[in-house]
Amino acid sequence: MLRAARFAAVLDFTIDPPTLAAMRANAGLVAHVSGERIATELGKLLLADRPSAGLRILDTTGLLDVISPELAAQRGVAQNKIPGEDLLAHTVRTVDAVPAARPVVRLAALLHDLGKPATIDDGPFRGHETVGADMAGALLERMRFPKVVTERVVHLVRQHMFTYDRDWGDAGIRRFIQRVGADHIDDLFALRAADNVGSGLPPDAGDLPDLQARVAAELAASVVLDRSKLAVDGDDLMAELGLPPGPHLGGILDALLERVIADPALNDRATLLLLAGSMLADDQ
């Protein structure tokens, strides 16, 4: 039954009514299929030009209720997006809007609003990205997706509700990159563009191109975004300032990193040692 939905999407054919009826009647049997097998079929379905064809079959046959009650819970949840379409329709539109060459982002698009039904009364949907990230992680682990895939999808779901203002200073852009992670930026932008389309908006809504350009400029400048690029490390602080290893040492390195993110010109060995020394004096 899962393969029928996948073939319909990948090969662009229509399942005949008697077969669809049999799928509806027997959808519950999918509960006996291993998580790994479900993950394989779902992953292949998401490689179709239009995964929506297969996802709608999963929905209308009741298979979705069995393999992911979390996704099925989106059915009938109203949203202020495209008139007449519910949350599940938005999710399906969003998946289709992600290029097929980005299967991890398509999987994140499928799960990006997983937390909305559980937070419908919170604002509404306040904090759904945090709730949804935890739910996505549990679902992907249940389906035995590779750990690296699960971690990346969970991170994208958790970060997908970012906001941007043209008044952000350069330090704000650097903090955004630090929070998201340079390796995840392109995927997150692809997810946001698809989410825009799924919401009935242009893909570049929300000043997305401006943010992308500013992020690219910061990355091209090789800005310091983590401890590894600081002009000093823990060994330097222990040797020069007599600091013992431990959480206090890590806290000072984190504080130095924050100062350098705000002002990259501070990333100089002598300057950072002086700053670290002043932090020690403040602690005494």
Nearest Cα to Cα of residue 137 among 120, 150, 124, 119: 150
Model pTM score? 0.85
How many whole angstroms separate alpha carbon 137 and alpha carbon 187? 18
Mean pLDDT for 187-214 is 97
Could you report the per-residue pLDDT of 18-47, keeping only the tens digit for each?
999 999 999 999 999 999 999 999 999 999
Q: Is the pLDDT of residue 148 over 70?
A: yes
Look over the chain and give the mean of its residue pLDDT values, rounded to a whole number. 93
How many whole angstroms separate alpha carbon 250 and alpha carbon 226? 12
Could you report the per-residue pLDDT of 105-115, keeping only the tens digit for each?
999 999 999 99
pLDDT tier for residue 274 given thresholds of 50, 70 and 90: confident
Residue 108 has a pLDDT of: 97
Residue 270 has a pLDDT of: 85
How many whole angstroms separate alpha carbon 249 and alpha carbon 182? 25
CATH of domain 2-165: 1.10.3090.10
